Amino acid sequence: MSLLIQHAHVISPDVDLPDAALEIAGAKIKRVIPAGKALPACSETYDAQGMRVVPGFIDTHCHGGMGHDVTSEDPAAMPIIAEAKLREGVTSMCPTTLTLSEEMLAKSLRNIEAYRRSPSHAKILGTHLEGPFINPECIGAQNPAYVRKPDMKEVLRLCEISPVSLVTYAVEMAGSLELTEQLVAAGICPSCGHTNATYAQFQAGRQRGLKRLTHFCNQMTKLHHREVGMVGAGLYDDDVAIEMICDKIHLCPEMIRLAFKVKPIAKILLMTDAMEATGLQDGNYHLGGLAVVVKDGAARLEFNGALAGSTLRFNVALKNIAEVTGKPLCELIRTTSLNQAESLGIKGLGRLEKGYAADITVLDDDYAVRAVFVDGVRKV
């Protein structure tokens, strides 16, 4: 099968081509055709009508949506979440679990694996384990009853059920430095979050391969003039990637602008941290068994008001950073897919170039998703 996407405003990292075209052969991009060049005959044609055509988004931190949670025992939950992500322009994702018992995590990964083997919507790049090896002093919306010591054997047992791509843990906890080395050796990306680490403690982990921070600024050591902490580490160390929830709730516009001013663009990763209320109205929901109230789009734990994930859609996150930073979209687009793929060591995703996966999202001028292609097949 061949596909021609024509009249496209092609935007890829450091690429901005109005009225261009993409030739797709099977699941790969065959070539990008600049304006004015002859177009090939293909078996299918899609007219982008001048809209923005960008690499499909990659969400490496998502807990749910449309009333369903990744950790649900319902096998129907994962396909519903993956379809909802697709409508945000997300073509690949890492379903994200919570601090729960190993038995509960195992059930979740069985459902994730069943979908991963036969994906009908967004693709699965591997599971993101957020916890359970976190600092109970920085619990956030995680369940303190299930916090435990780092255990690589548990991670490997879960990997036997379904691949794990990313683990969020607190680097200052006993055994975490060893865990860092073990994750790196296993090809799993280590990320520090729910942490009260000092800058020196983080540096010890960084020397062992820890170069990513989970939901930057949230549930981590704040910046202080005598101890820069984890926020300081994220801003200061150019080789450290930072996940950002750009909903203007978890991070104010000024913090978003600051991060984009001082960090290399290649080390900023948009994500949603979306929970089950995403795509639905305000009301009462749950996250990992904890009661959550959503009001004015902000999700908070019922008992203490702590932020409990978000209701952010990925295309809205891109719109927000474009409005807040004013930077060109061909720079910002790197934060939506290529950076995520590189942080997980995955090649062939995140660019609209020859040989890359034909994972493509079409956006109108208001960043609404108008079409989505996964491996060259239109899904939305």
Residue keyed to tokens 């060893």:
178
Distance CA 11, CA 39 (A): 19
DSSP track, 57-98: EEEEEE-EETTEETT-S-TTHHHHHHHHHHTTTEEEEEEB--
Q: Sign of torsion, CA 183 184 187 190?
A: positive
- At 295, is the secondary structure helix, strand, or coil? strand
215 labelled ligand-binding: yes
The one catalytic residue in 273, 282, 296, 359 is 273
Q: In the structure encoding, which two tokens stand for residue 284, read together? A: 């009462």
Is 88:121 a contact under the CB 8 Å cutoff? no
The alpha carbon of 175 is separated from its chain's Cα centroid by a whole number of angstroms, namely 27
Q: 273 an active-site residue?
A: yes
130 is in an annotated binding site: yes
Q: With residue 243 as reference, give the H or E element that holds it.
A: strand 241-244
- DSSP conformation letters of 90-131: EEEEEEB--S--HHHHHHHHHHHHHHHHS-SSSEE--EEEE-
Give the strand pairing for 189-192 and 164-169.
parallel
User: Can you tell me the distance from the alpha carbon of 55 to that of 42, in angstroms, rounded to the nearest whole number?
Assistant: 21
Sheet holding 268-270, edge to edge: 127-130, 164-169, 189-192, 212-213, 241-244, 268-270
Q: What span, in angstroms and rounded, lies between the C-alpha atoms of 372 and 376?
A: 9
Name the residues annotated as catalytic.
273
Annotated binding-site residues read: 130, 194, 215
Binding site residue list for Zn(2+): 130, 194, 215
